[in-house]
Amino acid sequence: MTAFTHAIVRPPGANFAQGLTSVDLGKPDLGLALEQHARYCAALEQSGLVLTRLPADDRFADSTFVEDTAIVTDRCAILTRPGAASRAGEVAAIEPVLRSEFERTHAIVAPGTVDGGDICQVENHFFIGISERTNAEGARQLAAILAQEGFTSGTVDIREVNGILHLKSGISYLGDKRLVLIDALAGHAAFSDFTIVRIAASESYAANFLRINESVIVSAGFPQFASRVRAFGYPVVALDMSEFRKMDGALSCLSLRF
């Protein structure tokens, strides 16, 4: 399992509620979102990570979802080119930080688009989701960069999978060869080498979680999944993500971990 020592985070800004969303869960409460973000940062620190805390950036309503702007690995960082026009400027805003933290950076270029939320790392392999945000050309460029850095990769087309924005809305790696998947992805040939942990349809939001060093950080409110993770022997930390969920966000979206 990849060991993590650092994470980059950015709190939501004053216009957080004006960001993109495809769900109908009401407007987020900024005060509560900031509290939830603070608890998220504390949980990352308790898992052993040193945080780089960027200031809120009111130019971009979705900029708290820093995960989409880059793919960070133990060898390099890859700047993405987000698929939503309103988010394009977020990459330039984070680029200086990534250039200072990483010796080597690469970038996805037009006409490729990639959102970091579509990229799921499992040891030295990357699953690349083709979605409404990540196109085939972006996936091709990313696969070539990853190969150059000594990683393998493969694509998973999620355009026909209902209810998920990004690949990682439906899949996370628990470690020890266990992949947690929503039902719609469980039969995909790309995952046949893994022990599949299926997530109940009623708990599908919980499919996005964070395994950080020894801990597993899950979204609060999904007791079946939390008890399964505990039964595997991992310590579980549950965080309320209600305000980020209203904007299509989940645990992984709020940080870049390396």
**Toward ligand CIR, which CB reaches closer, 165 or 174?**
165
Q: How far is CA 165 from CA 127, 161, 162, 170, 223, in A?
A: 15, 9, 9, 9, 23
Contact letters for ligand CIR, residues 190-229 (x by CB under 6 A): ----------------------------------------
DSSP code at position 124? T
CA–CA separation, 156 and 193 (whole Å)? 15
Q: Please, which residue, 88 or 220, has the CB nearer to ligand CIR? A: 88
Question: How many chain residues bind ligand CIR (CB under 6 A)?
Answer: 20
Name 219's bridge partners.
Answer: 239
| Strand locations in 14-99 (E) | 50-53, 70-72, 77-79
111-140 residues in contact with ligand CIR (CB under 6 A) are: 116-117
Q: Does 20 bind ligand CIR (CB under 6 A)?
A: yes
Q: How near is the Cβ of 135 to ligand CIR at its closest, in Å?
A: 15
Distance separating alpha carbons of residues 55 and 163, to the nearest angstrom: 31
CA distances from 173 to 93, 121, 230 (A): 29, 8, 15
49 binds ligand CIR (CB under 6 A): no
68 binds ligand CIR (CB under 6 A): yes
The catalytically annotated residue of 41, 125, 166, 188 is 166
Among 2, 18, 21, 105, binds ligand CIR (CB under 6 A): 21
**Cβ-based neighbours of 80, under 8 Å, separated by 6 or more:** 68, 69, 70, 71, 91, 108, 113, 114, 115, 116, 138
CB nearer to ligand CIR: give 21 or 215. 21
Is residue 13 near ligand CIR by the rule CB under 6 A?
no
| Least separation in angstroms between CB 62 and ligand CIR | 4
Residues 144-183: x where in contact with ligand CIR by CB under 6 A, - otherwise, as a string: ---------------------xx-x---------------
Judged by CB under 6 A, which stretch of 13-21, 120-128, 136-144, 235-243 contacts ligand CIR? 13-21
Dmax over CA atoms of the chain, in Å, equals 45
| Catalytic residue flag (residue 120) | no
What gap in Å lies between CA 229 and CA 91, rounded to an integer? 34
Distance separating the N- and C-terminal Cα atoms of the chain: 12
Tell me how far the alpha carbon of residue 95 is from its chain's centroid: 18
Instruction: Give least dist CB 18 to ligand CIR, A.
Output: 10
What secondary structure letter does DSSP report for 93?
Answer: H
Active site residues: 166, 253
Instruction: Kindly list the residues in this chain that would bind ligand CIR in the complex (CB under 6 A).
Output: 19-21, 62, 65, 67-68, 84, 87, 116-117, 165-166, 168, 247-250, 252-253
